[in-house]
Amino acid sequence: MLQKLRAWLGLAGLLAFAAFILSRVVPAVDASMARIRHAGRNAAESEDSALERFRTPEYVAALRRMRETIPRDAAYYLMPGDGGHGEYFVRFDLAPRRAILLERHNVTPADALQKGAPAWVVLSRIDPPGPEVFPAAEFFRDRGRK
């Protein structure tokens, strides 16, 4: 008798598990199909257009200007311009350019103007007007006056 009860409980547990799995399959397939349709609609989209969907057109325009200004193999000083995670996103979007964080390296105006130092300072912001780029000499000259 006890053996039959254990067999029935085992079968009931297996059926409950199968019902749970089946109840999750339909939403999972639906979500997967929605993602596939979304990917199909945006397959021909450019990188900048995709970035505009996640950020703002102002951010993408500012990023485009910075990519034209700072050479791909150059380094630049990065200064946080907002309270969020702007520096992370700007560093990622400007790669392979190498960021030198001003806050961590405690760069002085004299250090920044030495030969071999980065020629640009990027003020990182995600919100409009987006990130800005300044010549390092101008930025540190103005910063030294304050």
pLDDT band per the 50, 70, 90 thresholds, residue 69: very high
pLDDT at 82 over 60: yes
pLDDT at 141 over 90: no
Distance CA 125, CA 59 (A): 8
Q: Looking at residue 143, what is its pLDDT?
A: 65
Distance CA 50, CA 120 (A): 27
**pLDDT tens per residue across span 103-138:** 776 766 676 677 778 889 999 988 888 899 999 888
Distance CA 133, CA 83 (A): 18
**pLDDT tens per residue across span 11-26:** 888 999 999 998 898 8
Q: What global pTM score does this model have? A: 0.68
3-state SS, residue 19:
helix
Q: Looking at residue 125, what is its pLDDT?
A: 87
Q: Looking at residue 137, what is its pLDDT?
A: 83
